[in-house]
Amino acid sequence: MLKQNLSALVVGVAIICTAFVIAGAYKYKFKGEETITVTGLAEKNFTSNLVVWKCEYSRKMPDLKSAYALLKNDELTVAAYLKGKGIKASELQVSSIEIEKNFIQQKDELVVQQKFEFGKSVAPRFDGYTLKQKITVQSADIDKVENVSREVTALIEKGIEMNSLPPAYYYTDLSQLKIGLLANASADAKLRAETIAKNSGSQLGSIRKANMGVFQITGDHDNDSYEGGGTFNTSSRNKTASITIKIDYSVH
């Protein structure tokens, strides 16, 4: 009888100890799963260091040979003008010539006179050729290209049908800029997490998970909206780059 009671006591003590161990393990597991999720932000203003500007000129003539001859002469005139304004040959790129056939939609004269809505169809009449060519200027001298883009319409006085497009602005070292922003966004996230942990009486632990947000480039004084896939402004010379990073920290 004494032996049985002793065995029961040993089993009981073992069960109690096991319960304490399991409870402690569960408490540790639960506490280890506590996290703080924060989002860090970093921004940096910068100035573009590369400009790309395009202009287009065209000629329309009844026959292809005449249109081509005029357009080639325009090419020489435009190139000479740009080089005279300080644009280097290495900064110029001339596209191939685009050829477009022009047609005029004709109407049956009888149908027009009698104001009928329906009548026999008349084939479009051929109205010559339009030839177009583009010149692209890519340069690190932004001031120079901006001035040329504003003044190039002076070629219209020479009989050239010139169309100047707005310059596009780029930055050639975006990879390094992005790395710096990520470091600053991570530091911002950690500071936020430390503040939350301190105010809640906890201590910040290690990173559980980190997700980089979308890289955005917006223009100064432009009403650019943040897009899910990222905004990449090319119309402004002065820009702002921003990035976010979402980090989960353990706390104890």
> For the segment 138-181, what is each residue's pLDDT rounded down to a tens digit?
999 999 999 999 999 889 888 898 999 999 999 999 999 999 99
Determine the Cα–Cα distance for residues 139 and 170; give it in Å rounded to an integer. 10
Q: Which of 19-28, 89-98, 229-238 has the lowest mean pLDDT?
A: 19-28
Say yes or no to pLDDT of 106 above 50. Answer: yes
Say yes or no to pLDDT of 32 above 80. Answer: no
Determine the Cα–Cα distance for residues 162 and 139; give it in Å rounded to an integer. 21
Residues with Cβ < 8 Å from 239, sequence gap 6 or more? 45, 46, 47, 48, 169, 171, 217, 218, 219, 220, 233
List, for residues 189-248, the tens digit of each pLDDT value: 999 999 999 998 889 999 999 999 989 999 987 777 766 678 899 999 999 999 999 999
Residues with Cβ < 8 Å from 95, sequence gap 6 or more? 133, 134, 135, 136
What does the block give as tokens for 10?
């040993």
Determine the Cα–Cα distance for residues 207 and 172; give it in Å rounded to an integer. 33
If you search the block for the tokens 């169309």, which residue do you land on? Answer: 163
Determine the Cα–Cα distance for residues 141 and 161; give it in Å rounded to an integer. 26
Say yes or no to pLDDT of 19 above 70. Answer: no
What pLDDT does residue 21 have?
43
Q: For residue 242, report the phi and psi dihedrals to the nearest 5 degrees.
A: -145, 155
Q: How far is CA 131 from the centre of its chain?
A: 32
Do residues 30 and 24 touch, judged by C-beta distance below 8 A?
no
β-pairing verdict for 238-251 and 216-219: antiparallel
Enumerate domains of the chain plus CATH numbers.
34-47+172-251 (3.30.110.170), 51-114+121-169 (3.30.70.2970)
Other CB atoms within a 10 A radius of the CB of residue 53 amount to: 23
Percent of the chain with pLDDT over 70: 79
Model pTM? Answer: 0.76
Cβ burial of 164 (10 Å; 0-12, 13-18, 19+) is middle
Say yes or no to pLDDT of 15 above 60. Answer: no
